[in-house]
Amino acid sequence: MKRLLHFIFYIFCLNFTYAQDSWQPMNTNDLNRNAFLKASKTHLAIGKNKLSYVAYKDDWADGKGTVQKFNGVSWELVGIQGFSPGSVDDISIAVDQNNIPYVAYKNNLNSKIIVQKFNGTNWIPVGNEGFSIGSAEYISIVIDNNNVPYVIYSGKKTTDYTNKLTVQKYNGSDWELVGLARFSEGSGDNYSSSIAIDNNNIPYIAYNNSGAVGGYKSIVQKFNGSSWEILGSSGFSEGVAGDVSLAIDSNNTPYVSYLDVENSYGSTVQKFNGKSWELVGKAGFSNGQASPVIKIDKNNIPYVAYKDYANSSKITIQKFNGTNWNPVGPLGFSYGSVENISMALDDNNVPYVVYKDAGKNDNRTVRKFNGINWEEVGPRGISEEGPLVEIISSAIDHNNVTYVAYSDQKKLEKCTVQKYNGKTWEIVGKAGFSIGQVNLISIAIDNNNIPYVAYKEGTSYSNGKCTVQKFNGTSWELLDTAGFSPELAGNLNIAIDHNNIPYVAYTQFKSAGLYDAVVQKYNGKNWVPVGTLGYSSGSYSDTFVSSIAIDNNNVPYVCYKDSENFENLGSIKKFKDNAWVTVGSGKNYNFPGILAIDSNDTPYILHASSYLSEWNTIQKFNGASWEIVGDAGFCKGEEKSIAIDHNNAPYIFYCDQGNNSKKSTVRKFNGTSWELVGTAEFSQNPIYRPLIVVNNKNVPIVVYSSNNNNNNSSNSVYAKYFGSSNTLNTAIPTKSSAQKINLFPNPVKNKFSVSGEETVLALEIFDLLGRSVYKSFLTDDTYNIESLVKGIYVVKIQTEKGSYGMKIIKE
């Protein structure tokens, strides 16, 4: 017993922790990305320590309210996703002096207001739910210096259908009226309103009113302790004022910004000088129509953010220098036109802004000003920041380095390749190396770890020829000439045999709308046909190539369809005895299909269960016929890919439509059925272009781009692997400063290796009860522990200079 206790103590001294396998991000996690997809409404607030919060209506959570904060590295959920009782509208967020976030929103279950605050674990109600006087909309929340929350809203009542403004504050137990309910001026509707609180905790409001003097002009009121009094004159703007916004500086001077109809719909800012409202800069200072939002920094410098119609409706931010309004960074810095702008300034006077960007598929993006440009807040994916990444391909070299090739929107849609160095993604060669814009991309890597990229130039599927480039260690060089295919090409794929000979398979577009299936290989100088240039049964208008794979004997396989009558069945052929021959009998799968070949040269085909079906089936060739692997139609996902590990277990990675989420899911075949790898739907949002590869340590790696609004367009490329947080790193031997011996891989399935600066004399393995379960006095570098059961073990290694203890996981 004493010996066992000593052994257990020894294990703990190894400081061993074991994390359950899961999908791990490769540098950037899409769960932490800076894009609040499908967020109909967003509002930004900044607390102390530069903590940025964004509250939004989350359409991925049935329109309920969700809040995320930026922790300095990534965006994380505050509480649960979709914490509100029902769907929300007009959500607003504020942070008190203790960094506690509050949200106010319209509860669509009854059209009344709910206010909640985060207690560190959950979002809890502040006072009664649905406290508003009648229905509510155009809601805003602010918090005074005593941490008292106020809300302003526009509402109707059953006897009066005009929208009037009401302000309420929380007194610790109830939401009490601040002045009268529905107190706003005039007989018309009040829509555009804003609220702010000065240093003396006096609330001010700004709005326009169709029934006020002049109609739709600006009005500002402050609360005098018993009622709301007008500041200056009612309707002080020169003409109609839209989208009124209010801010108060540290001297308690109120400022308003608005869309000034009288001055070409430009931005106008005015401040109250104690008696009247005066212009700040010139009226309508924006160059064109603009709907501004105003904030004031600690130095009393006002900033406005607005949709800039003079710059393609993109976002522009300006600040006042005492005389003029000057741009903060470039004009119109968003990718596309914007909506739903919210701005805040941190304690260091750094402006932040969140908005909906049409140039990023209506994603909501947060940016801050770094002194020169507006940079995104939070991590991005593999591809550089840009509006779209639609075309991607991935491969793994023999050192387990993952490569991704994609069309790079930052480089005019030319091809860029990046590789993962174990910590970050780095550009291979230069970004955008292709000769022109690319429409199709495929990447493969030879036995010398040289990456090759095949692509088709052009702006659409129906134009452009094939080009292949390889990386020579410095730059990307052409193989043969650019555009070597005899005709226009589509459905392009590349594969490399064991003699490092690259093959390309593609659909050749001939005249009169007829297509051929073509395979070519590179002979060191030129691209030559493999067999007949068009190996399909004939030239039809419905011929398409979908995949190529090469077995251990360097035999290429292709899958394709050709049909005179538009049959949607595919054929699989291989090149044997200088001819393309059918594998199995005739057309035996539903097109399109994706090929993979295991280490026993058994071909697998992944395809739809029926034409246009979202249900998937995988078959393998048993030497005589194609048999189903597991069940037919075992998963639902139109976008998918297949890979086979070194134990010949097939994997499928697909856009999961089982719950209509279209998020990422991986399954592998366990010999009987298709089991989940990790959790289902592990991406944050729907995905596009799912790709899966398995490295030589049997670690599955997936690459995909995010999908927004189900429209097959994306924002960035992401990669993940399945394992513990250091799985990819443990596949490569590393040295510790305290140890001269390295053991890898760890975790291990069957065999592991030992390397280092000292010669190994003996190796012994103990289970967690201290029992010796394996001994070796060989000086081999590799040890086979296939006979051990799965679990955690301690390895004792004896060298000529001493002994070492290491932990190991047997999978």
Q: Which amino acid makes up residue 636?
A: K
Calpha distance 99→105 (Å, rounded):
20
In this structure, are residues 24 and 725 in contact, taking their beta carbons and an 8 Å threshold? yes
Contact 666, 657 (CB under 8 A): no
Residue 648's DSSP bridge partners are: none
**Residue 570 confidence (pLDDT):** 78
Domain membership of residue 235 (yes or no) is no
Q: Which amino acid, one-letter code, is at 395?
A: A
What's the pLDDT score for residue 376? 82
Residue 788 lies in a domain: yes
* CATH code of the domain containing 748: 2.60.40.1930
In a domain, 560, yes or no: no
What pLDDT shows up at residue 100?
Answer: 95
- Domains held by the chain: number: 2
- Whether the CB-CB separation of 337 and 359 falls below 8 Å is answered with yes
Alpha-carbon gap, residue 386 to 3, rounded angstroms: 61
What is the tally of helices (H) and strands (E) in the chain? Answer: 2, 64
Q: Is residue 148 part of a domain?
A: no
Q: Which of 419, 411, 364 is nearest to 386 (CA)?
A: 411
Burial class of residue 171 (count of CB atoms within 10 Å of its CB; 0-12, 13-18, 19+): exposed
> Is 359 domain-assigned?
no
What are the respective helix, strand and coil percentages of the chain, to the nearest 5? 5, 50, 45
Output the pLDDT for position 726. 61
- CA-angle at 724, arms to 722 and 728, nearest 5°: 70
Per DSSP bridges, beta strands 39-46 and 52-58 are: antiparallel
Q: What whole-number distance in Å separates Cα of residue 767 and Cα of residue 765?
A: 7
- Has residue 798 been placed in a domain? yes
- pLDDT mean for each 10 residues of the chain (811 residues): 47 44 74 53 80 85 88 83 93 95 95 96 96 90 97 78 88 96 75 90 90 74 95 89 94 96 93 96 90 95 95 95 96 90 92 86 82 81 47 82 84 88 84 90 93 84 83 95 89 93 89 78 95 66 75 92 63 90 77 88 89 84 94 90 94 88 91 94 83 87 67 62 68 43 83 81 78 74 82 82 80 82
Residue 810: per-residue pLDDT: 85
d(C-alpha 531, C-alpha 475), whole Å: 32
Residue 37, both tokens: 């997809």
Alpha helices for 71-223 (secondary structure H): none
**Which range of residues forms the domain containing residue 762?**
741-810
Residue where one domain finishes, among candidates 469, 484, 499: 484
Q: Which amino acid is at 233?
A: S
Domain boundary among 467, 484, 501: 484
pTM of the model: 0.64
Is 689 among the domain residues? Answer: no
Nearest to 605 by CA among 558, 666, 658, 536: 558
Q: Is residue 262 part of a domain?
A: no
87 conformational bin, left if phi > 0, alpha if psi -120 to 50, beta if neither: beta
In Å, what is the CA distance from 769 to each residue of 470, 749, 766, 783, 811? Answer: 54, 21, 8, 22, 18
- The Cα–Cα gap between 285 and 259 comes to 10
Residues forming beta bridges with residue 784, ordered by sequence position: 751
767 contact partners, CB below 8 Å, separation of at least 6: 773, 791, 793
